[in-house]
Homo-oligomer: A and B are copies of this chain.
Amino acid sequence: MNSFHLPGSSKGTCSTFLVDGQTVGSIPAAVVKELHGYPEVFTVYQDSTRGPASCVELNTKLSSYDLRSAAVHQVLEDLRSRNLFQTLREWRDERYEVMPQFSDRTLMNMERAATPLFGVKQYGVHVNGYFWRGSEPFMWIARRSLTKPTYPGLLDNLAAGGISTGMGIKETLIKECQEEACIPEAIAARAKPVGSVSYTYESVKGIYPECQFVYDLELPQDFVPRVGDGEVQQFYLWPMEKVKETIATTDFKPNCALVVLDFLVRHGFIDPDQEPYYLEFVEGLHQAL
């Protein structure tokens, strides 16, 4: 899940993306090449002494959230119409906030499908649904619909979703629990925030620095989630041991496996005296973006 930081990634050839003096992303060289064509929006600094990894700055004359968002959106619509980038074919009409690291100051927003072109962080929320039957722990696992554009048919957490502009974290959680698993708000609202997992991966579509807020939702023993908006095809109720075995396979969507691994660590299902990769697990789950 941290392929962007491994040898062979495009990391060394990406340009830093600066907005209002703050680093907010990493732009692959193929994208920088196109941004040269929009000099009124993007300033591309080519520093030959630093190699190809230079810097792209959003025009500092775009001095407000609204001005920045609108100017970039116009460029993205143009790039989309020119059909240059695969990810823009998955246009969502959904905006994500663009923020510097460790800040709640949002600088602009950006169409969700375009964020991998700028290596802009995406934030989401994932929910572990579980309960104890006596001393035996069980977890609800979802299987993604075969019609999902990403990771069709793979295993997922009980509910999860990206955090869109204007939405809170818990608010997103309650919405996704309702839409994906028909969990009433009165139950979803009991979910407890328990941390986050973060990682950066790269695909042919771009760079994905992602941070998932993690919530644990202890469900009533007799509660059964139901398929809602069709993003999930089925829910399974598995003993924790089966969940533990399965996250090591390719049947799980990778970031959902990380969320389950974090659950197993936090709830004492992994013994550091027995597991030689214990610290690698914990540190790997929390990569600074």
Q: Which A residues contact B (CB, under 8 angstroms)?
A: 102-104, 168-171, 192-196, 198, 211, 213, 216, 265-268, 270-273, 276-280, 282-283, 285-289
Contacts and interface: CB of A to CB of B under 8 A. Distances in A.
The main secondary structure of chain A at its interface with chain B is: mixed
Nearest to A170: B273
A267 B192 contact: yes
A194 B276 contact: no
A283 B280 contact: no
B169 A273 contact: yes
Nearest to A192: B268
Contact of A266 (B266, B273, B279, B288): B266
- Nearest 3 interchain pairs by C-beta: A192-B268, A286-B286, A104-B276
A101 to B, nearest CB: 8
A196 B103 contact: no
Q: How many copies does the complex hold?
A: 2
A98 B220 CA distance: 47
Contact of A168 (B192, B193, B273, B288): B273
Contact of A279 (B168, B198, B267): B198
24 contacts: A102-B277, A103-B276, A104-B276, A168-B273, A169-B272, A169-B273, A170-B273, A192-B267, A193-B265, A193-B268, A193-B271, A193-B272, A194-B267, A194-B268, A195-B265, A195-B266, A196-B278, A196-B283, A198-B279, A198-B283, A213-B272, A266-B266, A283-B288, A285-B286
Nearest to A191: B268
B270 A193 contact: yes
Contact of A196 (B196, B282, B288): B282
Contacts of A104: 276
A163 to B, nearest CB: 10
A286 B287 CA distance: 8
Contacts of A280: 102
Nearest to A215: B268
A178 B12 CA distance: 52
Contacts of A285: 286
A194 B265 contact: yes
Contacts of A271: 170, 193
